[in-house]
Amino acid sequence: MTDALETPDMQYARLGRTALRVSRLCLGTLNLGVRMSTDESLQLMDQALEQGINFFDTADQYGWQVRRGFTEEVIGEWLALGGGRRDRVVLGTKVFNPMSDRPNDQGLSARHIIAACEASLRRLGTDWIDLYQMHHVDRSAPWEEVWQAMETLVQQGKIRYVGSSNFAGWHLVAAQEAADRRHFLGITSEQCVYNLVTRHVEMELIPAAQAYGIGVLAWSPLHGGLLGGALRKLEQGTAVKTAQGRAMVALERGRDTIAEYEKLCAELETDPAELAMAWVLSRPGVTSIVVGPRTPEHLDGARRALEMRLDEDVLARIDRLFPPIGNGGPAPEAWAW
């Protein structure tokens, strides 16, 4: 059996060491119902599914601008339209962040994991979650407690797989070793920030994930819009995400580098966003990138990135603009001989 599968419309890969196949583009849903209307959100999910994207990612806290859980409600409305939508989608959501001001309505206690899962199922209007992800490590929760809760949910048929997000490499190791002692499958995927600007995961996280058969899902492949033609959009007055948050902070520090990157893209006659996504997709260990389109055009661009092949010269020029940490590669060679 090969790890990758390609159809005329989409590429698929196994999620880590599991037999589950997911599209190499994962539909991130942070914008649904918030930066776009509910109707636009429903249409975008239909378009993603039509284009072969079978992997949708959300979190119980998303939509907090309206109310916590609102994005799951929007997805639930879409699933309720029927037409085989639920069966065609690998659906992931997350647990950890506060869902109220109550002290036990957050974190990774057994109580909160189980209660939060049941609440997500109600909002999503489904009987099961394919990938239930820990949104952040909880340093106060023993792994025995976390895995007891996750095992309960698997046994009840409420979740199929467990994933993590924003973990360090040693957290993956500690979590997986604890799961192995319980003869439990454990972590199947880690969702981490990974892009040209933020390459820290290359040192320890990705090597740990590869060693344990954990798939890597890269979120923010454009660093909040920074790598999507930020300078051009600011000049044209069309910047949305680029004009705020992490993108703006990074742009203030690295404007000259971003200018050179956009010149390279112009020389290659390539859209900056598509080149940035293609680069992440080309990296060892990466299963899927989590894209957060707001328009059908954004989704089309992600598909073009999937089809792009980068030669060694282009990769070398990108590395000169955005050098890896230290000496490059995994630790300890990244900082030692």
Angle between helices 38-50 and 296-307 (to 10 degrees): 30
The pair of three-digit structure tokens given for residue 114, joined into one six-digit string: 């189980």
Cα 178 → chain centroid: 24
Closest CA to 105 of 121, 92, 119, 116: 116
Distance in angstroms (rounded) separating the CA atoms of residues 60 and 190: 17
Amino acid at site 198:
T
> 17-37 as b/e, with b when 16 or more CB fall inside 10 Å?
ebebebbbbbbbbbbbbbebe
Amino acid at 37: S
Cα separation, 170 vs 175, in Å, equals 8
Closest CA to 189 of 11, 10, 7, 26: 26
Catalytic residue among 12, 62, 132, 194: 62
Q: Does residue 12 have an active-site annotation?
A: no
**What SS3 state is found at 230?**
helix
- Tell me how many degrees the CA angle 50-53-57 measures, rounded to the nearest 5: 130
Catalytic residues: 62
